[in-house]
Structure 1
Amino acid sequence: MIFTEERETRAANLLEVFAARGLMIATAESCTGGLIAGLLTEIAGSSRVVERGFVSYSNAAKNELLGVPTETIEAHGAVSETVVRAMAEGALAQSRAHVAIAVSGVAGPGGGTVAKPVGLVHLACARQRGATVHLERRYGDRGRGEIRLMTIDDALGLLEAAIAEA
């Protein structure tokens, strides 16, 4: 088993509610490298809900796959509220999904700065109807794997909150 039983149960419950409402999800992932989509697709029948996933690890991928303007990335940096919002909205625009989740962060062990330390992650959830929701987390330097898992948990939380508003 790749993921814990608790995470898989949470994902299965989420997918069940999305499926019951006829809603589909897209993911746009940088620091998690596709782990959110991986967790969701670990669940049998997830194809009813998971429309597609984008692993946009590089700035070029954020631009080419999701339409994040290069100028935006240069002005704010890939790990920023502005860019992660654009990633989520781009994933929504480039898919048939009703809800898109996006993440970008500094998972470490290196790459952090004073302004953007290891453990800083920005998450955004865009919906066809409603405003894009942003969440900033500063997990601290807990190790790459732990930061990525904590990001998955917060991404699930944003998707769960989106159900009520989608």
Structure 2
Amino acid sequence: MIDADILAAAERLLDLARTRGLRLGTAESCTGGLIAGALTAIAGSSDVVEAGFVTYSNEAKTAMLGVPSALFPAVGAVSSEVAVAMAEGVLAQLAQIDLAVSVTGIAGPGGGSAEKPVGLVHFGLARRGRPTATTHEIFPGDRAAIRRATVAKALALLTSAV
């Protein structure tokens, strides 16, 4: 899953964050820690990467990141609102983090619907002192391809915000 392109993107992000003195964190659902794994696969990443939260269940999102439980029945776990709350939750939990990315999606092969198809991933990007951004993608392919594309997009979002 962590191929040469992902590792190169992670290394570029870490170098950029390091030069700007920024600390990073992640909140992951459908990627199960792959974003943090890509970042920490790079030697010396500990001076930039502070923490990664794997919150696969709704209960974990609430307990670890403070995502309001009322969001789940209202908009669903795979939503921009939950992605924003996850990213902001990282900043709330750890004062030393400057920038956080979150992902919540449907990697498949099941679990999709007409409104929320397999491949739909919502991203949150929170940086202290700035409004939290959100975006989404519908990635093609199987579970592995969707998760790989999600990691690549998350790294690109972090890099653009550094």
TM-score by length of 1: 0.94
- Give the distance between the partners of 2:6 and 2:32, measured in 1 at CA: 17
Match of 1:47 in 2: 46
Amino acid at match of 1:93: A
Match of 2:116 in 1: 116
Secondary structure at the aligned position of 1:134 is classed as: strand
Aligned 1:131-142 pairs, distance under 5 A: 131-140=131-140, 142=141
Match of 1:85 in 2: 84
- Give the distance between the partners of 2:6 and 2:67, measured in 1 at CA: 30
Residues 82-125 of structure 1, C-alpha deviations (whole Å, 9 max, x = no match): 01000000011111210000000000000011111100000111
Per mean C-alpha deviation after superposition, the further-off stretch among 28-37 and 92-101 is 92-101
RMSD of equivalent CA atoms: 0.9
Residues 24-68 of structure 1, C-alpha deviations (whole Å, 9 max, x = no match): 001000000000000000000000000000000000000000000
Query: 1:6: how far off?
Result: 1.9
Count of matched residue pairs: 161
Unaligned runs of 5+ in 2: none
- Give the distance between the partners of 1:121 and 1:31, measured in 2 at CA: 8
Secondary structure at the aligned position of 2:158 is classed as: helix
- Give the distance between the partners of 1:76 and 1:45, measured in 2 at CA: 39
**Which structure is higher in RCO with an 8 Å CA cutoff and minimum separation 6?**
2
Match of 2:147 in 1: 148
Match of 1:31 in 2: 30
Unaligned runs of 5+ in 1: none
TM-score by length of 2: 0.97
Query: 1:133: how far off?
Result: 1.2
Question: Are 1:158 and 2:161 counterparts?
Answer: no
Secondary structure at the aligned position of 2:151 is classed as: helix
